[in-house]
Amino acid sequence: MFDNLVGDTLITLSVLVFVTVLMVIEGLYMLWRSYRAPGVQKIGKRLQALSAATDRIAQARLVKDRVLSEAPWMQRVLLKLPRAHRLDRFILQAGLEWTVSHVLLACALSGMLVFFATASLANQPAWIALLVGATGAAVPLLYLSHRRSRRLAHLERQLPDALDLVTRALRAGHSFASSLQMIGEEMSEPIAGEFRMVADEVGFGVSLQQALTNMSERVPLTDMRYFVVSVLIQRDSGGNLTEVLGNLSRLIRDRLKLLARVRVLSAEGRLSAWILGLMPFALTALMNAFNPAFMSPLWTDPIGITAVKYMLGLMVVGVLILRKIVKIRV
């Protein structure tokens, strides 16, 4: 029975190695095709010759031009997945030049590498290797989420300055559409790219209302929705738009100041949460390094393994409760 189990494990590992190598080759081919293929280079040279703006950052692509994968067969497969477009929107909000296929490939490679390292190098059972591999597969998604959160926070800090720029432009006699274009030309990324995309959509014939609605969907910030709603209401019912945008800019600044003050006051609680969450793992690693015989029953004895499982479950619950306590929304 043990020989059969070993044989099944070897067959499974062989299949996973084959799939990993195949996906690596496919990923390298897609990367080469995206940047080095002769057809892509010819199209890029022709577009550069026809375009007056050669700055790569200034050429913001419209949402409708985005593809889920450079490979046609992968594009057809991803179009059938219900959450593929949601992941693509997540990538767009993170400000990365990735596609959905790149993210899925990175998740698969990360998960398989962690699985092989856990199963072969650490000599752990298959079910533990699968759990650790699933955690490794989530690393690209965690990085994507981190980049998205950081970009949205930067956008939120830039929004009051953008509203002030629109207010000054309107008072100087510029139209609202030209004031949005001024944001894309004079401000820094990432907010400049979002407003450039609005100007590009309007230039391609999209109505200003639809272009602003698209921006509010790309940038899921409450303050951005307030800005879009204020503009749309003013266009329908009339009113002093400069006064509305000035008040909105002041309210956003006051809210950001209050949020910064709350973060300072709650810094001690957040630090305590980190210490309480990491201390058990640090103490376990130290005790296992200095006295392995004392810690070995936790990994070998069934009672110790059961205790570790319950301990990890309770720690997850405790971390979630601490996160709920220290997370204050303003």
Q: What is the pTM of this model?
A: 0.67
Please choose, from the candidates 222, 226, 217, 175, the residue with its C-alpha nearest in 3D space to the C-alpha of residue 199.
Answer: 175
- How many other CB atoms are there within 10 angstroms of residue 67's CB atom? 15
pLDDT tens-digit series, residues 276-305: 888 888 888 888 888 888 888 887 888 888
Please choose, from the candidates 190, 215, 193, 209, the residue with its C-alpha nearest in 3D space to the C-alpha of residue 89.
Answer: 215
**Do 98 and 128 touch, CB atoms closer than 8 A?**
no
**Do 129 and 136 touch, CB atoms closer than 8 A?**
no
Alpha helices in 117-138 (DSSP H): 126-137
CA distance 208 to 222: 20
- How many other CB atoms are there within 10 angstroms of residue 156's CB atom? 19
Percent of the chain with pLDDT over 70: 78
Residue 272 CB-half CA count within 13 A: 11
**Is it true that the peptide bond before 190 is cis, omega within 30 degrees of 0?**
yes
Q: What fold, for 152-257?
A: Receptor-associated Protein (1.20.81)
pLDDT tens-digit series, residues 205-231: 888 889 999 898 888 898 899 999 988
**Do 102 and 88 touch, CB atoms closer than 8 A?**
no
When mean pLDDT is compared across 57-61, 110-114, 132-136, 301-305, the lowest value belongs to 57-61
pLDDT at 44: 58
Distances (CA, A) of 86 to 28, 65, 83, 91, 92: 25, 15, 5, 9, 10
Please choose, from the candidates 103, 82, 105, the residue with its C-alpha nearest in 3D space to the C-alpha of residue 93.
Answer: 103
Q: Which of 23-27, 41-45, 248-252, 277-281 has the highest mean pLDDT?
A: 248-252
Please choose, from the candidates 30, 314, 120, 330, the residue with its C-alpha nearest in 3D space to the C-alpha of residue 322.
Answer: 314
Distances (CA, A) of 117 to 12, 91, 207, 309, 330: 15, 28, 54, 22, 43
Q: How confident is the model at residue 306 (pLDDT cuts 50, 70, 90)?
A: confident
Backbone phi, psi, residue 239, to 5° = 130, 175
Q: Given CA atoms 147, 153, 157, 163 in this order, what sign does their dihedral have?
A: positive
Mean pLDDT of 93-100: 85
Q: Structural domain boundaries of the chain?
A: 2-25+57-137, 152-257, 266-326
